[in-house]
């Protein structure tokens, strides 16, 4: 896990690469890679690659980056882990490829030399990388199927720049800081900035599951090689052809896929620990780590004085899970004072504004204090196994509101009529948009996951910025673009949206910045393309048998009954009280949107936007 960056002065009349800019960008990401730093500059001075290293696989200098091929044709800078690199290496060696290291980085060089851009279809892992091909005079970039690892770029028509962080690109000093209304609007709508937008017009995110080629005429359009919607579409089609399957067969297939994913995610030359909450996802993964052969497991749980003795307190049940699987367990208590003390560092590390990530900040901090470099997280279980209320609410709203929402003008008229009363009574603004938006999946999902509603944006951003932002962002069309075909199941539709929007733009991105701020690599076995295919196939073949219960029952040693039967609360912190106590954003909330029942996340969003 690392930080990568590069500059390609592709236009014949552009200035050569400024090495100082390369180093400034690279070293802004020093916390992502405290174990080493490297830079490479082409002989003609028009291409440069940078790297900050967090050593996980092949800890020797042979794994240092940027890494060049033996013949000097290729140079790579790589962030992430390729979990199947040993199998890929063996296959390449049978074809005559000779390796000089034991790193997964070198596998990328040989795989590109063997297969070119099609190499991405062979990779299993979380990754972003850039390969300079000196023969073709092409820079090739790729990002993993789910978008676990971030990659941002800017192309001004003369020079192409990329990095693992938005703020790192800005630190280089060569990019405009003009704000992007689409990014600003997206943040207020969703609580995070939806890709490919950022809060800056000049900077874009390479979309998940995409590659990008930059040559002498500049950056081409990103090309998608993986789609979550396509996986569900194909799984539904196979299920239709093959018919229903027994619960026993489905359980065996899903368990095998889970163990396989966990085993792959434990590949490392350093110890691999685990975040442990009182929920099914993290507990099941710890059990599966044992099943996959991990003998010594360090686990860590967060606890808060505010939650002591309440249902939100994760510590007692997490300790019970730790005893069940015999882990070395630590409960780390976080106080409001520590939150206030860390807040400036949190805001500095937050690469783009987001209302989430505080929990990951503190559990990553706790893991690093224990000496861990790698930790397993249960992120992704709700998206994969239908654990969110959205799996129930969104299809139900679509069924109920499909006909009335099609009546021209009825939804907006009802909302405008209800708004004054809602403001007085303190109703959730989202409820007033149900008739207008709830009759189709894109609109119902916007209401379910939205932070602010479109009609509120003028008060927050100003009418002109809000209008331009909504036009560029096109939020409903953007949601529609992620959906599988209409013939797909309701579960497939919601699972795709949760994974491709909420998880990708918020949970995964927050996990990246909040963990890398502590030089900790977080691995997510439930966010894996091979596992997705197995679970989607099972869901299509036996929908009644694929749920969080199936995940809970996957370890050989069952999770404690209290964990399996516990009502879902999510992995939370007492941030609502902390923000209220500090009066963060409260004044802005009162002035702009009224004082009644302002949810903490809306206050927090306004505070972040103003910071």
> SS3 of 148, please?
coil
Q: Find the mean pLDDT for residues 76-94.
A: 97
For residue 527, which of 213, 26, 94, 124 has the smallest C-alpha distance?
Answer: 124
- Cα dihedral sign for 553, 559, 563, 565? positive
Q: Find the mean pLDDT for residues 577-590.
A: 54
Q: What would the DSSP string read from start to end of 384-449?
A: HHT-STHHHHHHHHHHHHTTGGGSTTHHHHHHHHHHHHHHHHT--GGGGGHHHHTTSHHHHHHHHH
Q: Is the pLDDT of residue 577 over 80?
A: no
Q: Taking the CA of residue 317 as centre, how many other CA atoms within 13 Å lie in the half-sphere pointing to its CB?
A: 22
Which residues make beta-bridge pairs with 3? Answer: 52
Q: Is the pLDDT of residue 570 over 60?
A: no
Query: What homologous superfamily is domain 2-226 in, according to CATH?
Result: Aminohydrolase, N-terminal nucleophile (Ntn) domain (3.60.20.10)
pLDDT of residue 426: 59
d(CA 559, CA 553) in angstroms, rounded, equals: 7
d(CA 79, CA 49) in angstroms, rounded, equals: 12
Report pLDDT digits (tens) over 31-81.
999 999 999 999 999 999 999 999 988 888 898 999 999 999 999 999 999
- Please say whether the beta carbons of 169 and 175 come within 8 A: yes
Q: Find the mean pLDDT for residues 97-113.
A: 96
- Cα dihedral sign for 354, 305, 368, 324? negative
Give CB contacts under 8 A, 24+ apart, made by 85-88. Answer: 85/57, 85/125, 85/267, 86/267, 88/122, 88/123
In the chain, CATH 3.40.50.620 sits at 229-386+489-573
Q: Is the pLDDT of residue 410 over 90?
A: no
> Where do runs of H (alpha helix) occur along 266-352?
280-291, 315-325, 336-349
Report pLDDT digits (tens) over 14-35.
999 999 999 999 999 999 999 9
Q: Taking the CA of residue 536 as centre, how many other CA atoms within 13 Å lie in the half-sphere pointing to its CB?
A: 30
Report pLDDT digits (tens) over 300-347.
999 998 888 877 788 999 999 999 999 999 999 999 999 999 999 999
d(CA 5, CA 21) in angstroms, rounded, equals: 10
pLDDT of residue 310: 79
From start to end of 440-552, where are the E strands? 521-523
For residue 56, which of 269, 368, 267, 297 has the smallest C-alpha distance?
Answer: 269
- CA–CA distances in Å: residue 510 to residues 197, 304, 515, 532: 16, 21, 8, 21
In the chain, CATH 3.60.20.10 sits at 2-226
Question: What strand order describes the sheet that includes 2-8?
Answer: 36-41, 47-53, 2-8, 160-163, 152-155, 204-205
pLDDT of residue 589: 41
Average pLDDT, rounded, for the chain: 90
Report pLDDT digits (tens) over 166-203.
999 999 999 999 999 999 999 999 999 999 999 999 99
pLDDT of residue 568: 67
Q: Find the mean pLDDT for residues 71-95.
A: 97
Report pLDDT digits (tens) over 589-600.
444 444 444 566
Q: Is the pLDDT of residue 247 over 90?
A: no
List Cβ neighbours of 487 (8 Å cut-off, separation of 6 or more).
236
Q: What would the DSSP string read from start to end of 579-602?
A: HHHHTTTHHHHHHHH-STT--HHH
Residues across the chain: 611
pLDDT of residue 316: 92
Report pLDDT digits (tens) over 359-386.
999 999 999 999 999 999 999 999 999 9
Which residues make beta-bridge pairs with 145? Answer: none
Q: Which CATH architecture has domain 229-386+489-573?
A: 3-Layer(aba) Sandwich (3.40)
- Cα dihedral sign for 205, 124, 62, 31? positive
């Amino acid at each position: 896990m690392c930080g990568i960056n590069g500059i390609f002065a592709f236009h014949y009349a552009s200035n050569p690469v400024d090495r100082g800019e390369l180093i400034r960008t690279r070293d802004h990401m020093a916390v992502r890679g405290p174990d080493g730093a490297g830079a490479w500059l082409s002989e003609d001075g028009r291409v440069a690659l940078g790297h900050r290293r967090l050593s996980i696989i092949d800890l020797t200098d042979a794994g240092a980056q940027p890494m060049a091929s033996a013949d000097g044709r290729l140079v790579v800078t790589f962030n992430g882990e390729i979990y199947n690199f040993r199998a890929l290496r063996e296959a390449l060696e049978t074809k005559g490829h000779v390796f000089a290291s034991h790193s997964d980085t070198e596998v990328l060089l040989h795989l590109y030399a063997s297969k070119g851009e099609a190499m991405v279809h062979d990779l299993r892992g979380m990754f972003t990388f850039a390969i300079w091909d000196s023969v073709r005079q092409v820079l090739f970039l790729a990002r993993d199927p789910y978008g676990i690892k971030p990659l941002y770029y800017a192309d001004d028509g003369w020079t192409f720049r990329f990095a693992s962080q938005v703020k790192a690109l800005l630190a280089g000093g060569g990019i405009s800081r003009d704000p992007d209304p689409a990014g600003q609007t997206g943040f207020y709508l969703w609580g995070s900035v939806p890709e490919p937008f950022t809060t800056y017009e000049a900077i874009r995110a390479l979309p998940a599951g995409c590659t990008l080629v930059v040559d002498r005429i500049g950056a081409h359009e990103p090309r998608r090689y993986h789609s979550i919607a396509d996986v569900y579409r194909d799984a539904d089609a196979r299920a239709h052809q093959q018919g229903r399957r027994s619960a026993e067969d489905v359980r065996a297939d899903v368990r095998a896929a889970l163990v396989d994913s966990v085993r792959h995610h434990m590949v490392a030359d350093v110890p691999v620990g685990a975040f442990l909450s009182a929920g099914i996802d993290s507990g099941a993964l710890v059990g599966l780590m044992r099943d996959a052969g991990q003998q010594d497991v360090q686990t860590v749980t967060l606890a808060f004085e505010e939650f002591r003795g309440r249902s939100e307190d994760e510590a007692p049940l997490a300790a019970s899970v730790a005893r069940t699987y015999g882990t070395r367990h630590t409960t780390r208590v976080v106080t409001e004072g520590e939150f206030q003390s860390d807040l400036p560092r949190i805001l500095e590390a937050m690469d783009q504004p987001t209302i989430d990530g505080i929990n990951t900040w503190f559990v990553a901090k706790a893991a690093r204090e224990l000496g861990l470099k790698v930790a397993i997280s249960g992120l992704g279980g709700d998206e994969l196994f239908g654990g969110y209320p959205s799996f129930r609410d969104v299809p139900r709203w679509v069924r109920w509101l499909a006909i009335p929402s099609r009546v021209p003008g009825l939804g907006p008229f009802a909302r405008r009529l209800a708004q004054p009363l809602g403001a007085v009574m303190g109703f959730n603004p989202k409820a007033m948009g149900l008739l207008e938006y709830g009759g189709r999946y894109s609109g119902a999902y916007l209401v379910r996951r939205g932070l602010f509603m479109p009609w509120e944006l003028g008060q927050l951003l100003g009418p002109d910025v809000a209008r331009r932002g909504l036009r560029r962002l096109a939020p409903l069309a953007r949601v529609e673009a992620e959906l599988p075909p209409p013939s797909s199941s309701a579960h497939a539709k919601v699972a795709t949206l949760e994974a491709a929007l909420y998880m990708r733009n918020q949970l995964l991105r927050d996990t990246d910045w909040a963990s890398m701020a502590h030089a900790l690599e977080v691995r997510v076995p439930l966010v894996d393309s091979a596992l997705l295919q197995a679970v989607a196939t099972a869901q299509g073949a036996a929908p009644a048998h694929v749920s969080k219960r199936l995940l809970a029952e996957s370890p050989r040693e069952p999770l404690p009954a209290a964990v399996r039967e516990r009502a879902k609360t999510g992995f939370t912190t007492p941030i609502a009280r902390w923000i209220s106590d500090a009066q963060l954003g409260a004044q802005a909330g009162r002035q702009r949107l009224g004082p009644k029942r302002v949810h903490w996340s809306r206050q927090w969003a306004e505070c972040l936007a103003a910071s």
